[in-house]
Amino acid sequence: MIYLAIGFPPAAKSCAYRMRETANKFVELGWDVTVLTIAEESWEREYGLDHTLSDPVDPRVRVVELPLAREDLETDIRLFTEDRALNPIRWMQRERERHLEHFPEPVFGGWRSALEQGVLDIHREFPADMLLASCAPYVNLAAAWKLWETHKVPYAIDFRDGWSVDVIGGGEAFTRDSEAGQWEDRVLSDATAIWCVNDPIANFYRERYPELAERVHVVRNGFDPDSVPEVHGEPAAEEGLTFGYLGSVNFKPAFLATVLDGWRAARERDPLVARSRFEIRGHIGAGASREANAHMTLIRQAEADGVLFGGPVAKAEVAATYGRWDALVLMLVGGRFVTSGKVYEFMASGLPVVSCHEVDHDASHVLAGHPLWTGAVGLDAEGIADSFVKAARMAVEATPEQRAEARAHSARFTRGLLMAPAAEQLSHAVRPALLAGGAGA
C-alpha cells in the first residue's frame, strides 16, 4: 500500500497521530506500507519536528520523503529574490497564482508533478495493490488519480475534514462546476472508500454525491492511551488550580481575546479562580510568525491575570502535562462540521472540561454525557466565565467515581478501536480487484 501522508511523524502536526495509527493498523493487517511525505527539514519551517511521535511507528513502515517545502515559510532573507524582498505582498500573490496553475490549491498546487512522479516511482519499485491518500493537502488527490489512470491501482481518500465543505463557516466551500469541484467529482467517482472524521461531514458528502453514499464512512480521530495521565488526585484548592489548553492556537486573535475576557471575569467573581492559573501550551503561528503574533501579545498582556504560555509539548510529554493540570479549556472554532482531535484526549483525562466553542458544535455531541463537562454556552465572555467557575468547583468536588465515569465515557474513542474496523473494511473492499488482477499491473 502506498500511503500519501504529508504530515507523517516526526512532523509536529496534529494529523500525525491519525497517520501513525493508520500506517500501523495496515501493517498489522499484513500490508507492506510505504508512506510518501515531504522532507523533515520542510517541517522545521512550519511547526517544527517532534521525534517522539516517530517512536511508536511500526519499524516495518517504509517512509519516502520528497524534497518539497513551502517557499512562503522561508525565513532566511538571504534566500529571498529581489522581488520578494522589495514587495513581499506581490510576491505572495504571484506564488499563490503559480500554485493554482498546476492544481486548484493556492499553497500546495505546485507540488502536483512531484507527488505524481513520487507515487509512480514507488509503484515501479514496489508494485502497489492500493493507495490511501490523506488530505490535506488536496493536491494528493491528483497523485492518487495519476496512479489510477496509469496503472488502475485502487485508492481511497481519507478526507478528514473534507474539501468542498466549509467546516468553519458551514455549507459549501466551492461548487461542483468549479475547477476544484470537477477535480473532487472526478477523483471521488472511482474511489473505493471516502473517510470523514464525523457524521456532519460524512452526511454532507452523501448528499452532495448520493451515488457514492455507500462508500462514505465516518472514521473518527480518537485518542492515544499513552496520552492519558494517571488518575488525578484531589487538587490543593488553597493554592489555586491550574487550567490548561493544549493544541495549536490557529484561531483568530478575537476568539482568544473573548476567552481571556471570560477568564478575567471569572477571577473577579470567584476567589478560587482568582488564585488559579491558565496555562496555554502548543504551537502558536508558523514560519516567521511563530510565537511572534497577535496571539502572543494577548497572552503577554494577560500575564498579570495568571495566564502563561509554556510552548509546544512533545508527544511523549502529553500525559504528564495533563497530569499537572486540574481542569481543561477546550478552545475550538467552527460548528457542527468540526470535532477536533483534542476533544477525545480531554475527555480521557478524567478532568473537568470548559467548552469555549459554539453550542452547535460536533464536540458538544462527543462530550454529551461526560460527567465533568461544563456544557457549551457559546462564545460569550460572561457565559465562559460561568463555565470557568463551574469547572473550578468540579475540580475540587469531583469524586473518584465521577473521574472514573469521565474516563469510561471516553473509552469507546480509543484511536486504535476506531481505526481498526475502517482499515479492515478497506482491505476487504479492494480484495475483489486484487483477485481479478486489477492492481499492480
Q: Mean pLDDT across the stretch 133-155?
A: 97
Model confidence pLDDT, tens digit, residues 188-236: 999 999 999 999 999 999 999 999 999 999 999 999 999 998 876 677 7
pLDDT at 441: 39
Distance (Å, whole) CA 142 – CA 108 = 11
> Residue 82 CB: number of other CB atoms within 10 A?
8
pLDDT at residue 13 above 70? yes
Q: Give the residue from 67, 53, 66, 68 showing the smallest Cα distance to 23.
A: 53
Query: Burial, 326: exposed, middle or buried (Cβ in 10 Å; 0-12, 13-18, 19+)?
Result: buried
What band does 288 get if pLDDT is binned at 50, 70 and 90? Answer: confident
Q: Mean pLDDT across the stretch 388-403?
A: 93
pLDDT at 400: 87
pLDDT at 432: 64
Query: Burial, 253: exposed, middle or buried (Cβ in 10 Å; 0-12, 13-18, 19+)?
Result: middle
Q: How far apart are the first and last CA of the chain?
A: 14
Distance (Å, whole) CA 436 – CA 276 = 65
Distance (Å, whole) CA 351 – CA 328 = 7
CA-to-CA separations, 144 to 112, 119, 367, in angstroms, rounded = 11, 8, 35
Distance (Å, whole) CA 280 – CA 329 = 9
Alpha-helical regions (H) of 368-414: 381-397, 400-410
Least confident of 72-86, 145-159, 277-291, 317-331: 277-291
Q: Mean pLDDT across the stretch 170-186?
A: 96
Which cell is 301 given?
Answer: 498582556
What band does 433 get if pLDDT is binned at 50, 70 and 90? Answer: low
pTM value? 0.92
pLDDT at residue 436 above 80? no
Percent of the chain residues past pLDDT 70, beyond the cut = 97
Task: Tell me if residue 156 falls in helix, strand or coil.
Answer: strand
pLDDT at 25: 97
pLDDT at 440: 47
CA-to-CA separations, 138 to 88, 207, 342, in angstroms, rounded = 26, 21, 23
pLDDT at 209: 97
What band does 291 get if pLDDT is binned at 50, 70 and 90? Answer: confident
What is the spatial order of strands in the sheet that 2-4 belongs to? 62-66, 34-38, 2-4, 131-134, 155-160, 193-196, 216-218
Residue pair 142/108 in contact by the 8 Å Cβ criterion? no
Cα 212 to chain centroid, rounded: 25
Least confident of 96-105, 239-248, 292-301, 426-435: 426-435
In Å, the largest CA–CA distance within the chain is 71
Q: Average model confidence (pLDDT) for the chain?
A: 93
Helix (H) or strand (E) holding 433: helix 415-435
